[in-house]
């Protein structure tokens, strides 16, 4: 039976993007959050982004109306999972929170409903400890911004069933995404490599090997990376990167992941990236990078 009803848990950055992508792929999509004000914010954001697609001629008006009509917003968890074929959880990255929410899913969702988690760092097996049937749980790891980024990492726990895997491929394919299959391990494939490159870039900067903008330029023009490591960390948030790198260092025990002291200092100084206008680079009120602003000492 084809999957039709998707329920997204959490309406933040990722949840809103996932719900938008699901509705545009003609899934009947319900988005859940704990308070109506979060849902209102997500609705406004989704509708604005869909309208922008129409303005730019990237989406037909009828398709936009169809997507908008397929979206439902609710703060009643039992009701939203009650008719779901596939749940995608995108609540904050806290093990107990994810376990609690999946326990409720197991109680209220239909037996065949697959449970997907968008966790970026937690082990599928740890979350699955809360479930009577851990075979239903799988990692479906999206990238930000979800409507734009092509990849989903499909993360298999030791007990994840083939049924959950096949269903996840079906969801991904209908959303127009490519997949890679990953055995659960710290940082999966993308975050593990990205943290390593980012950490080394900070070490090189601290050692005075080159300026931040020249390191970015070198990776873009010499290695064909679409973004430099400092442009990337400013987008992701220096605090989020520091947390990820610390977690990988603890999990893998590899010195290469010991967070660079420069990254630690910048976070302590409140330089968090684009989100507060000052990371490795500085940004003006419109979010434009200020030329020549890559002095990390000041």
Contacting positions for ligand NAD (CB under 6 A)? 9-15, 32-34, 38, 90-93, 97, 101, 118-120, 142, 144
The nearest distance, CB 98 to ligand NAD, in angstroms, is 7
Give least dist CB 87 to ligand NAD, A: 11
CA nearest to 38, candidates 7, 68, 70, 12: 12
* Residues forming a β-bridge with 86: 6, 114
CB of 125: closest distance to ligand NAD in angstroms?
16
Nearer to ligand NAD, 120 or 213 (CB): 120
Cβ proximity to ligand NAD, 77 vs 266, nearer residue: 77
CA 4/CA 84 separation, integer angstroms: 8
Residues with Cβ within 8 Å of 171's Cβ and at least 6 positions away in sequence, in order, are: 3, 6, 22, 27, 86, 116, 140
Residue number, nearest CB to ligand NAD: 12
Cα distance between residue 190 and residue 177, in whole Å: 16
> Distance between CA 134 and CA 119 in Å, rounded?
16
How near is the Cβ of 57 to ligand NAD at its closest, in Å? 28
Q: Which is nearer to ligand NAD, 80 or 212 (CB)?
A: 80
- Which is closer to ligand NAD, CB of 79 or CB of 210? 79
Query: CB of 218: closest distance to ligand NAD in angstroms?
Result: 25
Query: Nearer Cβ to ligand NAD, position 234 or 294?
Result: 234
Contact 70, 49 (CB under 8 A): no
Helices 212-223 and 190-206 sit at what angle, rounded to 10 degrees?
A: 130
Query: Tokens 């990692």, residue?
Result: 139
Q: Nearer to ligand NAD by C-beta: 10 or 157?
A: 10
Q: Which is nearer to ligand NAD, 194 or 260 (CB)?
A: 194
Least Cα distance to 6 among 30, 26, 32 occurs for 30
Query: Residues with Cβ < 8 Å from 266, sequence gap 6 or more?
Result: 238, 279, 280, 296
Backbone angles phi, psi at 7, to 5 degrees: -115, 130
| Tokens found for residue 249 | 């260092």
| Least distance to ligand NAD, CB of residue 121, Å | 6
Residue with tokens 């490591």: 229
List the alpha helices (DSSP H) in 238-290.
238-252, 261-268
64 or 157: CB nearest ligand NAD: 157
Minimum Å gap between C-beta 4 and ligand NAD is: 22
Q: How many CA atoms lie within 13 A of 272 on its CB side?
A: 6
Closest CB 191 distance from ligand NAD, rounded Å: 9
Token pair in block for residue 134: 């851990």
């Amino acid at each position: 039976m084809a999957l039709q009803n998707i329920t997204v848990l959490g309406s933040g950055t990722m949840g809103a993007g996932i719900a938008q992508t699901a509705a545009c792929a003609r899934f009947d999509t319900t988005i859940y959050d704990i308070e109506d004000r979060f849902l209102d914010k997500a609705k406004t954001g989704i509708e604005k982004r869909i309208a922008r697609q129409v303005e730019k001629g990237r989406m037909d008006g009828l398709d936009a109306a169809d997507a908008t009509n397929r979206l439902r917003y609710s703060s009643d968890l039992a009701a939203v999972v009650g008719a779901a074929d596939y749940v995608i959880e995108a609540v904050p990255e806290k093990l107990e929170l994810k376990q609690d929410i999946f326990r409720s899913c197991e109680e209220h969702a239909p037996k065949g409903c697959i449970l997907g988690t968008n966790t970026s760092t937690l082990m599928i097996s740890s979350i699955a400890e809360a479930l009577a049937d851990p075979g239903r749980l799988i990692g479906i790891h999206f990238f930000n911004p979800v409507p734009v980024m092509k990849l989903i990492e499909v993360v298999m726990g030791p007990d994840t069933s083939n049924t959950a895997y096949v269903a996840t491929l079906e969801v991904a394919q209908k959303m127009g995404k490519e997949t890679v299959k990953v055995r659960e391990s710290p940082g999966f494939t993308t975050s593990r490599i990205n943290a390593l490159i980012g950490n080394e870039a900070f070490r090189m900067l601290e050692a005075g090997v080159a300026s931040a903008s020249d390191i970015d330029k070198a990776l873009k023009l010499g290695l064909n990376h679409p973004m430099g490591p400092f442009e990337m960390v400013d987008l992701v948030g220096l605090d989020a990167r520091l947390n990820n790198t610390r977690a990988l260092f603890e999990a893998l025990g590899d010195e290469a992941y010991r967070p660079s002291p420069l990254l630690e200092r910048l976070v302590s100084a409140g330089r968090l990236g684009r989100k507060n206008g000052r990371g490795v680079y500085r940004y003006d009120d419109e979010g434009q990078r200020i030329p020549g602003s890559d002095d990390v000492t000041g």
